């Protein structure tokens, strides 16, 4: 049987080279938008001045359902020289960082990585304005949605506890924010109870963890909830602009305080919280100030009550002294009158006794005289 001629057969590398050539012809540099996932850094050549740091990450188009995989993804590599240019561009536009969960618009060249047989993008530039606009737009949409549902002021309308001593704390355990918050409470010298919910405060999972922690603490009988994190770039705060976090705060059964370390922007979480503070220390400080104010009020009230009681006691003492003085004077006058009457009575009795004695003596003498006259007659008879 005659063998049929074989159709042309390509090696894998030849196929990928052909695809790469097509891609190179079809695309120059392109702009892509998406969300950063799975960032990893690779240092080469050591950590000294001659070393380099390359960055790798996936740029994804997220699904509307956060629990589902992304709709699409592409691998991105950012070599050290381009990374330095990108960082300089980011610094010129403020505090933006390329971290997981941040939406970006980047420029780069599309290529084929033959070793993995995949399409990738070699990044060469970034549009910082896109990220800033995305953050602002997302925050605005969240606040509009909550306002439409009547939730924007829901937490702020809750009565604040007179003495909030049991604090539900939502933050990353062991972080600087955690340490600063707890230290501020401890140095106050007051008694506090802190129930910690350890969460991520940035990255793709942060928003869901923070929201779940707020809901969980809301049902545990705490007096207030404090949501805090340390300072960082605007992009680091993306979780606190998430609608799921804002709704959890708005729906909490107790007042929620925020202490998100950023001096410029206000996050959606800040906007719906009962009280917003610029740092974790300031957040804890407000609780300390509230407790001290109550303590001072209690002391002032006690001093006022004690002073009033002391003044009343002194007035009653003076009144009692006056009454006692009056009684003593009356008693002395009464005793003096009684003594005078007694003296008069004694004198009268003595005079009476003396008169009676004189009368009796006269009568006795008269009787003696009569007896003397009668006596001779009695003897003669």
- Render pLDDT for 208-230 as a digit per residue (tens, 0 to 9): 999 999 999 999 999 999 999 98
195 and 106 in a common domain:
no
113 and 177 in a common domain:
no
CATH code of residue 78: 2.40.50.140
pLDDT of 271 above 90: yes
Question: The tokens of 97 are what?
Answer: 């960082």
- Render pLDDT for 159-185 as a digit per residue (tens, 0 to 9): 999 889 999 999 999 999 999 999 999
39 and 111 in a common domain:
yes
Is residue 165 a part of any domain in this protein?
A: yes
79 closest CA partner among 30, 42, 112: 42
Element (H, E) at 196: strand 193-198
- Render pLDDT for 67-117 as a digit per residue (tens, 0 to 9): 788 899 999 999 999 999 999 999 888 778 898 888 999 999 998 887 788
Is residue 41 a part of any domain in this protein?
A: yes
Q: What is the domain count for the chain?
A: 2
Last residue of a domain, one of 245, 271, 293: 293
- Render pLDDT for 226-259 as a digit per residue (tens, 0 to 9): 999 987 777 888 899 999 999 999 999 999 999 9
CATH code of residue 193: 3.40.50.2300
Is residue 298 a part of any domain in this protein?
A: no
Is residue 195 a part of any domain in this protein?
A: yes
Question: Which of residues 340 and 173 earns the better pLDDT score?
Answer: 173
Is residue 324 a part of any domain in this protein?
A: no
Is residue 339 a part of any domain in this protein?
A: no
Is residue 136 a part of any domain in this protein?
A: no
248 and 208 in a common domain:
yes
- Domain interval for residue 221: 153-293
What residues form DSSP beta bridges with 161?
Answer: none
Task: Give phi and psi for 31, each to the nearest 5.
Answer: -100, 135
Question: The tokens of 353 are what?
Answer: 């006794």
CB atoms within 10 A of CB 376: 9
Is residue 140 a part of any domain in this protein?
A: no
SS3 237: helix
**What's the pTM?**
0.68
């Amino acid at each position: 049987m005659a063998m049929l001629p074989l159709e042309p057969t390509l090696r894998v590398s030849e196929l990928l080279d052909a695809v790469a050539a097509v891609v190179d012809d079809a695309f120059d540099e392109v702009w892509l938008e998406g969300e950063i996932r799975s960032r990893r850094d690779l240092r080469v050549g050591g950590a000294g001045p001659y070393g380099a740091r390359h960055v790798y990450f996936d740029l994804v188009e997220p699904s509307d359902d956060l629990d589902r995989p992304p709709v699409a993804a592409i691998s991105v590599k950012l070599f050290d020289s381009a990374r330095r240019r990108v960082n300089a561009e980011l610094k010129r536009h403020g505090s933006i960082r390329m971290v997981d969960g941040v939406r970006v618009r980047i420029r780069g060249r599309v290529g084929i990585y033959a070793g993995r047989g995949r399409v990738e993008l070699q990044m060469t530039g970034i549009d910082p304005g896109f990220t800033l606009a995305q953050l602002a737009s997302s925050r605005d949409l969240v606040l509009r949605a909550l306002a439409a549902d009547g939730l924007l002021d829901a937490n702020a309308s809750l009565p604040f506890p007179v003495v909030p001593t049991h604090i539900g704390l939502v933050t990353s355990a062991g972080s600087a924010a955690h340490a600063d918050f707890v230290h501020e409470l401890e140095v106050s010298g007051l008694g506090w109870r802190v129930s910690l919910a350890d969460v991520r405060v940035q990255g793709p999972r942060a928003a869901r963890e923070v929201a779940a922690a707020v809901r969980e603490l809301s049902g545990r009988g705490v007096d207030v909830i404090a949501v805090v994190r340390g300072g960082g770039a605007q992009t680091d705060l993306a979780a606190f602009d998430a609608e799921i976090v804002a709704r959890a705060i708005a729906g909490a059964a107790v007042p929620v305080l925020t202490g998100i370390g950023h001096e410029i922007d206000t996050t959606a979480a800040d906007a719906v919280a009962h009280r917003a503070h610029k740092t974790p220390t300031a957040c804890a400080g407000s609780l300390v100030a509230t407790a001290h104010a109550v303590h001072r009020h209690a002391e002032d009230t006690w001093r006022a009550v004690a002073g009033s009681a002391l003044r009343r006691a002194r007035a009653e003492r003076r009144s009692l002294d006056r009454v006692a003085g009056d009684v003593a004077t009356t008693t002395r006058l009464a005793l003096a009158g009684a003594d005078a009457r007694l003296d008069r009575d004694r004198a009268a009795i003595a005079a009476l006794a003396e008169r009676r004695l004189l009368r009796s003596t006269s009568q006795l003498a008269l009787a003696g005289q009569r007896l003397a006259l009668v006596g001779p007659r009695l003897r003669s008879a």
